[in-house]
C-alpha cells in the first residue's frame, strides 16, 4: 500500500483505537437497517406516502454505495483521520435532524445526508485501523473484527430499533448515534493518527455525478410507478435514468482509472462474487423491512415482541460471520458460495408459508436458515473477488465487492419493496397506498381490514419468492461455472489480501 506508516507496536493503544473506530462502523451498518421495525411508528407519526416510505428507508444506502469509492480518494488527498472526524460530525448532525424531522420530506433529506457522511466513514475507518496494526497477523485479526462488527450492525439494527421503540418515540433510533459519535470525536485525536497516501488518485467527478443521478432517477421511476401506476412522468424519468447509467458504464470502459472497472466482470468467479455481494443484501433488506410490517401491522405484535422474533435470525447471522473463515479453510470458497445461495434460497422459500393470521414460526425459521447464507456472503465476498483477478487489479475488485453490499441493501427495498407496494395497490382495498395508511382510515370493516392484510402478505410472498428463485439460480450457476478447488489462500485473507482490500476502499 502506498502510504506512510509509523512503525509502532500494536499494544493496548492500538486495541483501544480499534474500539474507538468500531463505534462509527457499527453506526453506519445499523443505520442501514434500524428503521425496518420502526417504520410502522414512523408511518403513524409522519404519514408518508408509499414512495416516501421507501425513500426514507433506502436513500441512505444509495448515498453510501454511490459515494463510497469517491470519498476514499478524497481521504487520500486530505487525510483519512480528518475525513473520518468530519464525516462523524456530519453524521451526528444529520442524525439529530432526522430524529426531530416534522415531516417525511425532511426525514428523507436527513437520511440522505447521513448516507453521504456514512460514505466517508467506512473507507477512512478501515485505513486508519490498518495504520494502527502494522503487524500483518494482528492487522488480519483486527480487520476480521471490523468485518464482523459491520455485519453484526446490519443484523442487530432492527432489534435495537425495536427495543428503543418499546420505551421511546421513533426519533430515538437516530439519537442513539449521538453519544457514540461524541465519544469518538473526543478520543480519536488521542488514540488515532493521520493517514495519507503518497500517491493521490484521480476522482472523475462526472462519473460520480452520473452514477448517483442514474441510480436515483431509475429508482424514483420504479417507486413512483409501483405506487401510482405507469404514467408519463415516471416513464420519462426512468428513461433518463437508464440512459444516464448506460453513459456511466460506457465512460468507465474508456477511463484509465474508472470509478468502477466493469471489465472485471468478464471473469466468472469475480462476477459471481460481486453478485453475491449484492443479491443477499437485497433479499435481506427487503424481507427484513416487509417482515417488520408483517409482524406488527398484520399479526399485531408490539414492537418489542417483533424485535424478539427477529433476534434468532440476527444471532445466527452474526455467529456465521465469525465461524465462516474457519469453515472456508476446510471446504473452500466455491463450496461456501454455493452453500450461501442454497441457504438463502431455502430461507426465502419458507416465508410464503406465513399467512395473515399466523406465521411467527415460519418467519423465525426463514430468518434463521437464510441468516446462515447471509453470514457466509458477508464473510467471503471480498476475498473471493480479490483472488479472482490479477494482483494489479485487486484494489478495484475489492472496491466493487464493498460497494455491491451497500447498493444491494438499497436496491432490495427499492425493487422488491416496490413490487410488494404494487401488489398491495392492485389487490388491496384501494383506500391508500400502504397497509399502515389503510389501517389508519376511519370506519374500516373487518372484511376491509382482512383484504388489506391479505394483499400485503401476498406482496411479501412475491418478494420472498423472487429473491429465493434468484438465489437458487445463482447457486446453480455457481455449481456449473465456478472452478473446483476455489479456495482462499490459507483459508482466510492473508496479509497481502488484507492490504489490497484496505487500499481498494480508499481509491
- CA–CA gap between residue 440 and residue 297 (Å, rounded): 11
**CA gap 272, 166 in Å, rounded:** 41
288 contacts 158 by C-beta, under 8 angstroms: yes
Residues whose CB falls within 8 Å of the CB of residue 15, separated by 6 or more in sequence, listed in order = none
Q: Which residues of 145-174 are buried (b: 16+ CB within 10 A; e: fewer)?
A: bbbbbbbbbbbbbbbbbbbbbeeeebbbbb
What is the structure's pLDDT at 485? 57
Question: Cβ neighbours of residue 348 under 8 Å, at least 6 residues apart?
Answer: 283, 287, 366, 370, 464, 465, 467, 468, 471
pLDDT attached to residue 196: 57
Q: Map 3-36 to HEC letters.
A: ECCCCCCCCHHHHHHHHHHHHHHHHHHHCCCCCC
CA 73 from chain centre, in angstroms, equals: 21
CA distances to 39, 345, 457 from 97, in Å: 17, 38, 33
H/E stretch holding 496:
helix 495-505
Q: How far is CA 359 from CA 41, 44, 294, 366, 448, in A?
A: 22, 24, 10, 10, 21
Predicted local distance difference test score (pLDDT) of residue 349: 94
Q: Report the candidate in 314, 362, 341 with the shortest Cα–Cα distance to residue 460.
A: 362
Q: Tell which residue, 28, 124, 17, has the closest CA to residue 76.
A: 124
CB 402 within 8 A of CB 68: yes
Find, among 210, 206, 205, 203, the residue nearest to 245 by Cα. Answer: 210
The conformational region for residue 248 under phi > 0 = left, psi -120 to 50 = alpha, else beta, is: alpha
Burial of 102 per CB tally in 10 Å (0-12, 13-18, 19+)? exposed
Write the CB contacts of 18 (distance below 8 Å, at least 6 apart in sequence). 129, 132, 133, 142, 145, 146
Task: List the chain pLDDT tens, one digit each, 507 residues.
Answer: 444 444 444 577 778 888 888 888 888 778 777 777 777 788 888 888 877 887 887 788 777 767 776 776 676 666 778 888 888 899 899 999 999 999 999 999 999 998 888 878 766 776 676 677 777 667 667 766 776 777 677 777 777 877 787 778 888 888 888 888 888 888 888 887 766 554 445 677 888 888 888 877 887 787 777 666 677 888 898 899 899 989 988 998 888 777 777 888 888 888 888 888 889 888 988 888 888 889 988 998 887 788 788 888 888 888 887 788 788 878 888 888 899 999 999 999 999 999 988 889 999 999 999 999 988 887 777 667 766 666 556 556 666 776 777 677 777 877 888 889 889 988 988 887 778 888 888 888 889 999 999 999 999 999 999 999 999 999 998 888 777 754 444 334 443 344 434 444 434
Are 180 and 24 in contact, with CB atoms under 8 Å apart?
A: yes
Tell me the C-alpha to C-alpha distance, in Å, between residue 221 and each of 51, 150, 152, 410, 506: 10, 31, 32, 15, 32
Dig out the grid coordinates for 27 from the structure.
453506526
Phi then psi dihedrals of residue 402, to 5 deg: -65, -45
Q: Helices (H), strands (E): how many in the chain?
A: 18, 0
Query: DSSP states of 179-198 as a string?
Result: HHHHHHHHHHHHH-----BS
Distance (Å, whole) CA 299 – CA 304: 13
3-state DSSP of 247-307: HHHHHHHHCCCCCCCHHHHHCHHHHHHHHHHHHHHHHHHHHHHHHHHHHHHHCCCCHHHHH
Q: What grid cell was written down for 15?
A: 486495541
**Residue 443, helix vs strand vs coil:** coil
Contact yes or no for 311/41 (Cβ under 8 A) = no
Amino acid at each position: 500500500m502506498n502510504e506512510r506508516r509509523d512503525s509502532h507496536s500494536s499494544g493496548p493503544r492500538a486495541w483501544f483505537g480499534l474500539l474507538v473506530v468500531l463505534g462509527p462502523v457499527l453506526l453506519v451498518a445499523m443505520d442501514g437497517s434500524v428503521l425496518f421495525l420502526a417504520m410502522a411508528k414512523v408511518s403513524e407519526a409522519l404519514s408518508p406516502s408509499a414512495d416516501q416510505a421507501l425513500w426514507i428507508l433506502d436513500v441512505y444506502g444509495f448515498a453510501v454505495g454511490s459515494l463510497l469509492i469517491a470519498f476514499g480518494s478524497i481521504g487520500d488527498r486530505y487525510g483519512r483521520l480528518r475525513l473520518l472526524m468530519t464525516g462523524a460530525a456530519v453524521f451526528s448532525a444529520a442524525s439529530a435532524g432526522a430524529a426531530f424531522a416534522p415531516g417525511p420530506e425532511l426525514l428523507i433529506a436527513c437520511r440522505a445526508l447521513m448516507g453521504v457522511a456514512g460514505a466517508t466513514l467506512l473507507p477512512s475507518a478501515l485505513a486508519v485501523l490498518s495504520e494502527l496494526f502494522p503487524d500483518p497477523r494482528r492487522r488480519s485479526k483486527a480487520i476480521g473484527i471490523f468485518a464482523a462488527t459491520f455485519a453484526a450492525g446490519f443484523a442487530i439494527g432492527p432489534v435495537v430499533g425495536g427495543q428503543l421503540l418499546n420505551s421511546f418515540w421513533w426519533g430515538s433510533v437516530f439519537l442513539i448515534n449521538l453519544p457514540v459519535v461524541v465519544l469518538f470525536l473526543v478520543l480519536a485525536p488521542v488514540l488515532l493518527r493521520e493517514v495519507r497516501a503518497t500517491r493521490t488518485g484521480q476522482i472523475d467527478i462526472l462519473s460520480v455525478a452520473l452514477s448517483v443521478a442514474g441510480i436515483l432517477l431509475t429508482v424514483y421511476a420504479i417507486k413512483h410507478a409501483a405506487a401510482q401506476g405507469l404514467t408519463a412522468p415516471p416513464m420519462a424519468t426512468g428513461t433518463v435514468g437508464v440512459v444516464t447509467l448506460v453513459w456511466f458504464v460506457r465512460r468507465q470502459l474508456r477511463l484509465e482509472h474508472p470509478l468502477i472497472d466493469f471489465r472485471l466482470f468478464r471473469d466468472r468467479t469475480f462476477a459471481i462474487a460481486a453478485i453475491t455481494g449484492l443479491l443477499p443484501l437485497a433479499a435481506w433488506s427487503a424481507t427484513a423491512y416487509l417482515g417488520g410490517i408483517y409482524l406488527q401491522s398484520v399479526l399485531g405484535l408490539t414492537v418489542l415482541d417483533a424485535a424478539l422474533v427477529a433476534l434468532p435470525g440476527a444471532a445466527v447471522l452474526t455467529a456465521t460471520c465469525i465461524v465462516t473463515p474457519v469453515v472456508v479453510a476446510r471446504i473452500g470458497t466455491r463450496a461456501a458460495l454455493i452453500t450461501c445461495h442454497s441457504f438463502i434460497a431455502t430461507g426465502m422459500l419458507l416465508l410464503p408459508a406465513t399467512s395473515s393470521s399466523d406465521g411467527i414460526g415460519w418467519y423465525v425459521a426463514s430468518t434463521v436458515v437464510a441468516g446462515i447464507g447471509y453470514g457466509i456472503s458477508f464473510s467471503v465476498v471480498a476475498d473471493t473477488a480479490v483472488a479472482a483477478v490479477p494482483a494489479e487489479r485487486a484494489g478495484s475488485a475489492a472496491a466493487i465487492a464493498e460497494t455491491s453490499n451497500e447498493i444491494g441493501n438499497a436496491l432490495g427495498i427499492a425493487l422488491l419493496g416496490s413490487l410488494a407496494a404494487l401488489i398491495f395497490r392492485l389487490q388491496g382495498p384501494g383506500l391508500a397506498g400502504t397497509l399502515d395508511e389503510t389501517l389508519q382510515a376511519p370506519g374500516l370493516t373487518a372484511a376491509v381490514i382482512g383484504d388489506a392484510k391479505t394483499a400485503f402478505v401476498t406482496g411479501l410472498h412475491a418478494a420472498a419468492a423472487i429473491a429465493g428463485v434468484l438465489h437458487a439460480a445463482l447457486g446453480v450457476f455457481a455449481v456449473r461455472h465456478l472452478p473446483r478447488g476455489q479456495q482462499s489462500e490459507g483459508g482466510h485473507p492473508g496479509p497481502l489480501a488484507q492490504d489490497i482490500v484496505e487500499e481498494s476502499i480508499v481509491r
